[in-house]
Amino acid sequence: MATTPAPITAILTDIEGTTSSISFVKDELFPYARRALPGFVAAHANEPEVRRWLDVVAAENGGMCDDRMVVEVLQGWIDEDRKHTALKALQGMIWADGYRNADFTAHIYPDAAPALRAWKDAGLPLYVYSSGSVPAQRLFFGHSDAGDLIPLFSGWFDTEVGGKREAASYRHIAGAIGQPPENILFLSDVVEELDAAREAGLQTVLVDRRQDYPRPRNTAAANGHSRVESFADLDVA
Ligand SMILES: CSCCC(=O)C(=O)COP(=O)(O)O
Ligand SMILES: [Mg+2]
């Protein structure tokens, strides 16, 4: 007998590839951070919040790195799209200048902002879980193509709670939100993240953006997760 899914009382969303295009992150944000990194480290290396992360990177690379070598490691990580917490924290600090100077605004898929507003208006609290640091997430949604979307969100999570492919991270987030996992819907473009969320008991939907994923993933590739190509196709509120 088929079981009825539990009612959804909160939504947790990924950013890159879900609310927003991969291309904006890879082709605009990452190159901006890569270019600005040497100057940023030269100017801010002695500030405790910057030093802390530079030291994490140095320690992971044998502990003998000077800042010039740390910058090269970080630039290599940007090229590899490493979702390392230290890199993400530093990228967020660098992007602050870009948003402040209006060098760019953050891409939001046209269907995403109206759906987020409708869910919020229907009483569903919205949360973000992204590899981007929480300050970077707030900058992103605070300077989006659709305006300041920060007021839509009730909370923010990054990899300081754990990796996005680990079930424990989603258990932690459900606890922090204060809702049973089965009442939380997680939206992401990455099947391994959805697998981890499902293992923790969350409901899941694969967001298969045709701009990012020109070949839509079939049921086998979606690993049993429901699949949509737009937030407009999600019937949650
Ligand atoms: C919101 S900051 C820019 C995005 C970013 O750095 C990133 O790694 C996004 O990963 P996601 O977990 O949102 O797919
Ligand atoms: Mg993503």
* pLDDT computed for residue 214 by the predictor: 87
Ligand 1 centroid to 16 CA: how many Å? Answer: 5
Share of the chain above pLDDT 90, in %: 90
**Location of structure tokens 């640091």:** 133
Our measurement of the distance from residue 48's CA atom to the centroid of its chain's CA atoms, rounded to an integer in Å, reads: 25
Q: Does residue 64 surpass a pLDDT of 90?
A: no
pTM here?
0.95
Q: pLDDT tens across 180-225, in order?
A: 999 999 999 999 999 999 999 999 999 999 999 888 888 899 999 9
Residue owning the nearest CA to atom 5 of ligand 1: 132
| CB-facing half-sphere around the CA of 193: CA atoms within 13 A | 24
Location of structure tokens 């890569």: 34
Mutate to test the pocket of ligand 1, among 131, 159, 213 (most ligand atoms within 8 A of CB): 131
Q: Best substitution site from 19, 23, 25, 80 to test ligand 1's pocket, by max atoms within 8 Å of Cβ?
A: 25
This complex has an ipTM of 0.97
Closest CA to 232 of 19, 8, 17, 24: 19
184: its two tokens: 């939380």
- List, chain by chain if needed, residues with CB within 6 Å of any ligand 1 atom: 14-17, 25, 29, 83, 88, 91, 130-132, 136-137, 140, 164
pLDDT of residue 167: 98
In the chain, the DSSP E strands lie at 10-13, 126-129, 153-157, 184-188, 203-207, 226-228
Q: What is the pLDDT of residues 162-173, one digit of tens each?
A: 999 999 999 999
Q: Looking at the CA of residue 20, tell me the nearest atom of ligand 1.
A: 13
Distances in Å between the Cα of 49 and the Cα atoms of 86, 186, 196 are 10, 31, 30
The pLDDT-based confidence of 2 (bands split at 50, 70, 90) is low
Does the domain at 10-20+106-233 match CATH 3.20.20.70? Answer given as no
Q: Which atom of ligand 1 is nearest to the CA of 188?
A: 14
Q: Where are the domains of the chain?
A: 10-20+106-233, 25-100
pLDDT of residue 63: 80
What does CATH list as the number for 25-100?
1.10.720
pLDDT one-digit tens code per residue, 106-146: 999 999 999 999 999 999 999 999 999 999 999 999 999 99
- C-alpha to C-alpha distance for 92 and 143, rounded to whole angstroms: 13
